[in-house]
Amino acid sequence: MTIGQDAKSLTPYPKVRRMRFRFGQPEPMTHLFAEGDIPLTHLIAVLSAVFPPGEESFIRSVRKFSGEITDPVLKKRVAGFIGQEAVHGQQHRVLNEQLIRLGFPIVRVFTFDPGARRERALIAVENMVPRQVHLAVTALAEHYTATLAHRVLGTPEIQALPGDPEVLNLLNWHAFEELEHKSVAFDVYRATGGSEVLRIGLMAGSYALTIPVVGLGVFASILSDPRSWRPIKVARQTVKLVRGPIVKGLLLEMRPYMRPGFHPDDIDTGELLERWRAELFGVRGELVDRIG
């Protein structure tokens, strides 16, 4: 089968940047690194914990089709996608080592070496479903990350939130690259004949589970960290988080994915990407010196 590039895709080639973040330098990271905000700190820790195994799974799902991709443009985009996700996983692992040291047991649960039993179990589950389903899950997850990335980079109130500056640098870089490659897995899925019914059906199911799953993850993380056992503070900060610029209305922004015929490039993030490219990697870009 020949896999061609989707004509609708406007995304340029994702560029692989070998980043090296310096967490805990020069000042050591504090335990509640999101300026003492317990639920927000744990939300970031849970996301950072699941990124490495999640992104490695995304890479495997796309690789299941890579032997059939003959279109040079899509081939290059897939190579960029794989490279970017690999560096994301690697840099989140660096942060996760710090988080484990700071006392986030949940991060340890998702931290395992290649070939470890937990990884083998995950791969066994992936291989129990048709590869088209595995790829559809990746396309769906990429919509989640792209929607969150759009919000993080496009909302000044989020950028103004106090917290560890190097963690914010990592999140901004990750968000930027998620927008750069947001349509790659989707285009591979569509070009290999992935059905709309499966794509939309999977999103409908996961949409309903988003709040319970994320909520449970954050709750479990707080429970496993005795220093975060401050129920009144947690309740107050949770209300603030749910009503704040990160969470409020986020689920509604996921909905366009369930429209038949939807393509990730229907949501225009070109200008935002250009602005952040200059901000992070321009001549005086904030993260130029983090490129290894």
Chain residues in the site for Fe ion (CB under 5 A): 85, 88, 142, 178
- Helix 270-281 × helix 165-180 angle, to 10°: 140
Task: Please give the full DSSP string across 171-201, using - where no structure is assigned.
Answer: HHHHHHHHHHTTTHHHHHHHHTT--HHHHHH
- To Fe ion, the closest distance from the beta carbon of 49 in angstroms equals 14
- To Fe ion, the closest distance from the beta carbon of 201 in angstroms equals 21
- To Fe ion, the closest distance from the beta carbon of 53 in angstroms equals 12
Output 84 or 98, the one with its CB closest to Fe ion. 84
- To Fe ion, the closest distance from the beta carbon of 84 in angstroms equals 6
- To Fe ion, the closest distance from the beta carbon of 256 in angstroms equals 18
Residue whose Cβ sits closest to Fe ion: 88
Start-end of H helices in 103-181? 105-109, 117-128, 131-154, 156-159, 165-180
Output 233 or 250, the one with its CB closest to Fe ion. 250
Task: Please give the full DSSP string across 26-73, using - where no structure is assigned.
Answer: SSPPPSSTTTT-HHHHHHHHHHHHHHHHHHHHHHHHHHHHHTT---HH
Output 40 or 140, the one with its CB closest to Fe ion. 140
Identify the CA nearest to 244 among candidates 164, 157, 183.
Answer: 157
Instruction: Give the Cα-Cα-Cα angle 117, 120, 126 (nearest 5 degrees).
Output: 145
SS3 of 19, please? strand
CB-based contacts of 233, cutoff 8 Å, min separation 6: 38
Output 37 or 178, the one with its CB closest to Fe ion. 178
* CB distance 174 to 88 below 8 Å: yes
Cα 250 to Cα 265: distance, rounded to the nearest angstrom: 18
Output 88 or 237, the one with its CB closest to Fe ion. 88
Cα 282 to Cα 276: distance, rounded to the nearest angstrom: 9
Output 88 or 190, the one with its CB closest to Fe ion. 88
- To Fe ion, the closest distance from the beta carbon of 1 in angstroms equals 24
Output 189 or 238, the one with its CB closest to Fe ion. 189
- To Fe ion, the closest distance from the beta carbon of 236 in angstroms equals 32
